[in-house]
């Protein structure tokens, strides 16, 4: 079985949905489709959750009406069989009726999760019905029946697989199964999410669960690029990446892939393909446990970084000082991305300031605190990167741009620079010039 995930832009319009059907029809064998909501729908649903907090039921009703019109227009454009059309309309109407009743509750994390996962439910049923009209036999699956993920960091894919097999055992065999991304059932047996962008993660969890031959992530970009094409000209897609390279790039800002996506398929060595829904014949990027070449591969950037410096004379020769600092961040469930130390100071970065005030209050007991917001981490990735002699050229950047921190040596495959976000584009372009444009022969294509 192959797992194919299609994102919001891939199912964002009638023509896009038809395109997905054509991609599906051109691939033999059993397929499990994991679909996102139509583009823009989840944003509208998040807007509804904000309105629940202030009990603005008039504005909520307006958005629900907009969602109803959007999905009914999609149904009418795709499904002309009267019986199937009525069935799809009835399903969407039932989902939106449930949504409306949810909005009468007090806001809670549970209500948030139920509301924002509504879009995937509607779209997958519409797509399943569309395929039925097109003569493509398929089974619609409710992800809530098997996506039981208690631990976001370490999902029990064996358990998910058992529940999945139980679900499909009750259905007529088919070569196409369709389900929702993003949604999960948590340790409290409640509806929850895999966080925004988590449909990629849904796909790889399911790929590991069903022991898939491969997993394909279909989006609107033709694979991982060697730099950010929004800011840098003449970038190109990378044909092959190792699991570790792709994980580094995803975590440090490459938007094409959810940061946790890679982990479920590594153990089972299931290759992952990044493909463009709108140019399906392009090869895209293949991610696997294979290493095809070494040295520089790609550059990505992660925004929204906060740098914190703790200066204290007590650090000198103080056993356990770092442990105490890390315990503060652990207490507030805040991950640290980069860290550098000297004899009297420690500097580190975080990508979430949700609990920043509480963290700073506790850190004040340990020394003088300096906080710098609006920074970006620039990540340079490649197998054996720090052993590549040409990599040294990146440090020429210090002549042009004030670099706040450098992480070098923590991994053989990653060098990270911290710069003010206002210098991000200049840094990406400068690194591209120094590291890629000066290569006489491109190392990777």
Beta-strand relationship, 368-381 and 336-341: unpaired
The token pair at 349 is 């970065």
Closest CA to 377 of 351, 357, 413: 351
As its CATH architecture, domain 298-437 has 2-Layer Sandwich (3.30)
Parse the chain into domains and list their residue ranges.
Answer: 2-220, 298-437
pLDDT of 444 above 70: no
Among the residue ranges 43-47, 80-84, 207-211, 332-336, the one predicted with the least confidence is 332-336
pLDDT of res. 321: 86
**Interatomic CA distance for residues 33 and 41, integer angstroms:** 19
Helices 321-331 and 356-363 pack at an angle, to 10 degrees, of 160
SS3 78: helix
Distance CA 273, CA 222 (A): 10
Mean pLDDT, residues 86-103 taken together:
98
SS (H, E, C) 249-306: HHHCCCCCCCCCCCHHHHCCCCCEEEEECCCCCCCCEEEECCCCCCCCCEEEEEEEEE
For residue 317, the model assigns a pLDDT of 58
Interhelix angle 118-133/57-78, rounded to 10 degrees, is: 20
Nearest partner of 285 among 293, 276, 277, 296, judged by Cα: 276
The region of weakest confidence among 8-12, 223-227, 264-268, 395-399 is 395-399
Q: Looking at domain 2-220, which of 3.40.50.1820, 2.40.50.140, 3.40.1160.10, 1.20.272.10 is its CATH number? A: 3.40.1160.10
pLDDT for position 316: 59
Residue 129 three-state SS: helix
Residues paired with residue 403 on neighbouring β-strands, in sequence order: 419
Most confident among 117-126, 197-206, 333-342, 350-359 (mean pLDDT): 117-126
CA angle, 326 then 306 then 417, to 5°: 95
């Amino acid at each position: 079985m192959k797992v194919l995930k299609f994102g919001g832009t891939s199912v964002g319009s009638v023509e896009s949905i038809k395109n997905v059907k054509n991609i599906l029809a051109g691939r033999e064998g059993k397929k499990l489709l994991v679909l996102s909501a139509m583009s823009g729908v989840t944003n509208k649903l998040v807007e509804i959750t904000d309105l629940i907090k202030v009990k603005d039921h008039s504005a909520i009703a307006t958005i629900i009406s907009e969602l109803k019109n959007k999905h009914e227009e999609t149904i009418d454009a795709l499904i002309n069989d009267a019986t199937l059309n009525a069935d799809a309309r009835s399903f969407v109407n039932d989902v939106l009726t449930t949504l409306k009743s949810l909005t009468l509750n007090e806001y809670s994390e549970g209500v948030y999760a139920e509301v924002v996962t509504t879009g995937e439910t509607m779209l997958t049923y519409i797509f399943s019905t569309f395929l039925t009209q097109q003569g493509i036999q398929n089974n619609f699956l409710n992800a809530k029946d098997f996506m039981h993920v208690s631990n976001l960091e370490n999902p029990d894919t064996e358990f998910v697989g058992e529940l999945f097999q139980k679900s499909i055992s009750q259905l007529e065999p088919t070569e196409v199964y369709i389900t929702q991304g993003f949604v999960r059932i948590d340790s409290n047996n409640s509806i929850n999410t895999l966080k925004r962008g988590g449909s990629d993660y849904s796909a790889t969890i399911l790929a590991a669960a069903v022991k898939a031959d491969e997993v394909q992530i279909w989006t609107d970009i033709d694979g991982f690029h060697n730099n950010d094409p929004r800011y840098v000209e003449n970038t190109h897609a990378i044909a092959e990446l190792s699991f570790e390279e792709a994980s580094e790039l995803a975590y440090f800002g490459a938007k094409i892939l959810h940061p946790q996506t890679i982990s479920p398929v590594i153990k089972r060595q299931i290759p992952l393909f990044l493909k463009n829904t709108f140019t399906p014949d392009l090869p895209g990027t293949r991610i696997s446990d294979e290493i095809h070449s070494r040295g520089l591969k790609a550059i990505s950037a992660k925004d929204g970084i906060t740098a914190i410096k703790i200066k204290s004379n007590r650090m000198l020769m103080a056993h356990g000082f770092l442990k105490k600092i890390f315990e503060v961040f652990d207490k507030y469930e805040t991950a640290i991305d980069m860290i550098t130390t000297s004899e009297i100071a420690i500097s580190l970065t975080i990508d979430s300031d949700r609990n920043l005030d509480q963290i700073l209050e506790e850190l004040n007991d340990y020394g003088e605190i300096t906080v710098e917001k609006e920074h970006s981490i620039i990540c340079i990735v490649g197998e054996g990167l720090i052993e590549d002699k040409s990599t040294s050229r990146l440090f020429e950047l210090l002549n042009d741009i004030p670099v706040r921190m450098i992480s070098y040596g923590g991994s053989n495959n990653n060098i990270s620079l911290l710069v003010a976000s206002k210098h991000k584009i200049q840094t990406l372009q400068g690194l591209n010039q120094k590291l890629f444009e000066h290569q006489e022969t491109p190392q990777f294509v």
